[in-house]
Amino acid sequence: MIIVHGNIPIKPDQREQALQLARKMMEATQKERGCLSYDFFIGLRDPNTLVLFQEWESMDLLMAHYQTPHMKEFLNDLPKVINGNITTRRYAVQNIEEDEETAVNPPRVVH
């Protein structure tokens, strides 16, 4: 699984436009193949920061997301509402439950 976390500072006077842009992006992206979750949150420390959290089945499916029309539209409209630098981080995550199952029931090797 791939997790993407981002912080998007937004202009206070463009807050409603930024929220509309985020909602539109969220709704379109959640329909994509491989998208496990995709949501924006408002920062508690700074209500003019949107926090982005995404989960994807694979890196290939995340890369395909970057080529969608709604992503291109989002990136085109984003400069109108941001206030500073966007930061993002991408993580490759291994499912602990799968690891625990393998440790309890290791695969059998047949010769």
Task: Quote the pLDDT of residue 100.
Answer: 59
In 3-state terms, what secondary structure has residue 1?
Answer: coil
Task: Quote the pLDDT of residue 107.
Answer: 58
Task: Quote the pLDDT of residue 104.
Answer: 56
Instruction: Give the CATH class of 2-102.
Output: alpha beta
Mean pLDDT, consecutive 10-residue stretches, the chain (111 aa), reads 96 96 97 97 94 96 96 96 95 74 58 51
Task: Quote the pLDDT of residue 95.
Answer: 72
Q: What's the distance, CA 22 to chain centroid? A: 11
Domain segments of the chain as ranges:
2-102
Q: Kindly report the pTM of this predicted structure.
A: 0.80
Phi, psi of 7 (to 5 degrees): -120, 125
In 3-state terms, what secondary structure has residue 91?
Answer: strand
Q: How far apart are CA 51 and CA 29, in angstroms?
A: 16
